[in-house]
Structure 1
């Protein structure tokens, strides 16, 4: 299991950020997401193509918000391609600050398949950067 965490501040308000997780236009603006769709239950399905040390690898991805309230959301992510898969659980906290909203996130990641042996060695740094990049892009004004 890989532990990851990050923090950043955006000028976008917390209420608007909470609404963005099901807005196709906002999700599609994230450069590593394509073919974005949102089901009636709020589950997001997309092609996620992160920039990795080995190149770009498109992953079929499902993102589900399992809990949300005024201060935090819990999100699960399942991404796969062939025999490789990744499961993540993220806790995302939104705190109002003078400059807008501080976004603090932490999570656990599990890699499966042959990529797991390589991923365990470099996974934490790559996963932290990739997750933070998605969240920062989604939080852009």
Structure 2
């Protein structure tokens, strides 16, 4: 199981790297499509939810990760573990990314202000 788990996480990390490159317009794939690949991959591997949660937590505290991927995926997945983590990390005095963290929480609300940025959520 260990090797399989590592393979899954390595593939997830690669998808996140692609999203970073797509965001920087370094690839032909659109940013939204790269985010959809991450979401689809997670849905294909439900037995690895905890590993994905841990990776999303790392993304939220990292300075060079596809931060928007968390909100994009949580809009669909609605994992409470991420909400709890974000709330714990939100401290404007210590972390200038608090506003970005707050935007992740809006993905859980009935109306998501960023939904219009993504075709995937405009047709749902």
- Class of the TM-score when normalised by the shorter of the 2 chains: under 0.3
TM-score by length of 1: 0.26
- More contact order relative to length (CA 8 Å, sep ≥ 6): 1
TM-score by length of 2: 0.28
More helix by share: 2
